[in-house]
Structure 1
């Protein structure tokens, strides 16, 4: 006979089970995603209509909206909430997230113009659970897209949809059967499939495009998928599993897909590392203390710090001793236009859920003479990300 204490222990164990914790965390991931989606939509609208607006003004507006939206939820509850990824706007050939400083002459005045291809990325976190999303848009509501722009946007969309399906673990893959599980592709095999989609539109996958698994308070977990690893870059590690949250990045180019440092662009996006070192300069200590308190392990822009000028001085020693890592501003080596999408996904027992994802493009407006003809890839794109929900049987009518 089971006593009350055993029942209570069993209930507590069920409540603290990994499966239950994952379900509870999904609520905060989804709430953070709702914020990220609203802000992304507003920033993209401002960008599309914003011929003449500065990149700085778009980034500042995005961060302001993220802070405002986060302040409206979980009021009175002691949880961390705020920006998981600052608003970044990367024009044309610049690929990596870019967020200029108000105190950098020239950079703070860079304006977008009709026809520019912008990569916009941002994110929110609630309770340390991040939802990051990114889209690629073209400036100008009435802008007539070139065939190069159309093909780039088409290839990016189809590669992204294919990539999500290629991340499905074997046990939940729609082609798996009880007798035989569908083989999960390797990073190399994934890259080769995406190469074919990109090539069909005269595009290239950008080297070292990297996706990570997300954890609470961390957007770079131990698992990672690296497409086309560049020389000296980390390789893929681990595989997607049920119960994982992933930040999925997809970047394409109309050129070589090779990257180089963009001259004249200061790294302004940073992230704290796990390295422990005693800093010597007071400005460095002040900067690091503020970073640790405000952002933890989430990426941040120098303009988010209280005193931008002090931060520019203090960050130097922090980067030198690797207590803070800087994200270099990289662009397409041959100057071609680039694209980038970013999605936050949850892998559940029923499939892949897009927690935060860019909106579907209007494919009719992107038609060109290029198309995917490979039947295997077309079949891949038709695969469902989720198992269809079982229809509830209608309740039996009571006999009169």
Structure 2
């Protein structure tokens, strides 16, 4: 009897546990809510660092309102605001004089990325907005937004395991389920058809990751338009959460490292030992507040100490440093990132950019490929339908 009391009950963190799904959905709702508020802050003349700071404050406030007794909750990704040509998330420091003064410009394609986590279950979302956009967006700007939108919708449907939403006879369902999932080369090929229709290009090495508890870069990933040395491994399955990313460019899609300081990092080795006092302090703060999720040096107590401490931690493999990457030609880039849950009923969007009103984007270009049309017409999830009317109501309508 005593042994039973001493043994702690093992917690089920899988998606079979409704509590896990609830935490993912709560985190997703917070991510979407804060994204909407940060989008309103992105106006011409506003400083990027100011927007990032306000976004982080909003995230912290919203997370504090839920699961009051839970200690492990907070950021799955800090607020980042990336100008037109930037591909990766950008979050400048207040202590970097030049970068802290960078302001948004009219007409820029700005990528907003952020995320919340509850009990280690993180959701991240990214949306692209056109700063100062009027009621209607035209020309190449419209081409870029529409190409990204439709490519993202296609990619989300390609994340469905074969046969999940199959209909028809048992034989037809079995045949659909036996089909092989599209290879990453095939996924890239299909997405390139949409890019070509709008005279855009896929951003090289655009990567989607499986999300695990306390980890946004799990063991499986899908790499679109892979660059040199980049390769994906794994296909989506039922019972998984993924961060699905789509990136388009008005240029070649090739990328380069920007001159801006990398300020975004993530803990990848919890057992690493630091020697410098600044490094030890940094690791302590990261483990306490951010765990294995990305953080910005801007969020730490002292940016100056963080700059010193991060050098040793990156060099010795305790932290991953996210380089600031942009379009090689300086062309405008658009990105979307959606956190999805895959179940036997299809894909559920846990956190996603707001639905796009495509009627506001005017262009003479369009998709004409029949194969693409067929995929886009497919539902993301099973339609459970409306409840059947009561018999009495049915009789009344017959009379």
Q: Fold conserved (TM > 0.5)? A: yes
* Aligned with 2:299 (options 304, 314, 326): 304
Give the corresponding residue for 2:50.
57
Q: Aligned-pair distance for 1:367? A: 2.2
Give the corresponding residue for 1:369.
364
Contact 2:76 2:114 (C-alpha < 8 Å) held by counterparts = yes
Give the corresponding residue for 1:172.
164
| Distance change (3 Å), C-alpha of 1:114 and 1:26 | same
Q: Distance in 1 between matches of 2:262 and 2:316?
A: 16
Matched, 1:272 2:267: yes
Q: Distance in 2 between matches of 1:257 and 1:313?
A: 34
> Aligned with 1:168: secondary structure?
coil
* Aligned with 1:240 (options 236, 242, 251): 236
Contact 2:163 2:173 (C-alpha < 8 Å) held by counterparts = no
Q: Distance in 2 between matches of 1:141 and 1:81?
A: 35
Q: Aligned-pair distance for 1:20? A: 2.8
Q: Distance in 1 between matches of 2:165 and 2:225?
A: 25
Give the corresponding residue for 1:354.
349
Runs of 4 or more consecutive aligned structure 1 residues displaced over 2 Å after TM superposition: 15-20, 141-146, 173-179, 274-278, 390-397
Give the corresponding residue for 1:105.
97
Give the corresponding residue for 1:84.
76
Give the corresponding residue for 1:257.
253
Q: Aligned-pair distance for 1:365? A: 1.4
Q: 1:109-128 counterparts in 2 under 5 A? A: 109-128=101-120
Contact 2:241 2:339 (C-alpha < 8 Å) held by counterparts = yes
Contact 2:248 2:333 (C-alpha < 8 Å) held by counterparts = yes
Q: Distance in 1 between matches of 2:206 and 2:13?
A: 34
* Aligned with 1:293 (options 278, 288, 295): 288
Write the deviation string for residues 190-211 of structure 1: whole angstroms up to 9, x where unpaired.
0100000011000111111000
* Aligned with 2:64 (options 56, 68, 71): 71
Give the paired residue count.
381
Matched, 1:129 2:142: no
Write the deviation string for residues 355-374 of structure 1: whole angstroms up to 9, x where unpaired.
10111222111121100000
* Aligned with 2:387 (options 371, 375, 392): 392
* Aligned with 1:96 (options 73, 88, 91): 88
| Distance change (3 Å), C-alpha of 1:206 and 1:175 | farther
Contact 1:101 1:107 (C-alpha < 8 Å) held by counterparts = yes
The answer for unaligned runs of 5 or more in structure 1 is 1-11
> Aligned with 1:88: secondary structure?
strand
> Aligned with 1:361: secondary structure?
coil
Give the corresponding residue for 2:30.
35
| Distance change (3 Å), C-alpha of 1:163 and 1:266 | same
* Aligned with 2:184 (options 182, 187, 191): 187
Matched, 1:218 2:211: no
| Distance change (3 Å), C-alpha of 1:68 and 1:350 | same
RMSD: 2.1
Contact 2:15 2:21 (C-alpha < 8 Å) held by counterparts = no
Q: Aligned-pair distance for 1:141? A: 4.3
Q: Distance in 2 between matches of 1:290 and 1:344?
A: 27
Q: Which moved more, 1:182-191 or 1:273-282?
A: 273-282
Q: Which moved more, 1:360-369 or 1:101-110?
A: 360-369
Q: Distance in 2 between matches of 1:368 and 1:127?
A: 44
* TM-score, normalisation: structure 2: 0.91
Write the deviation string for residues 275-305 of structure 1: whole angstroms up to 9, x where unpaired.
7433221111111111111111000000111
Q: Aligned-pair distance for 1:78? A: 2.7
* TM-score, normalisation: structure 1: 0.91
> Aligned with 2:145: secondary structure?
helix
| Distance change (3 Å), C-alpha of 1:330 and 1:368 | same
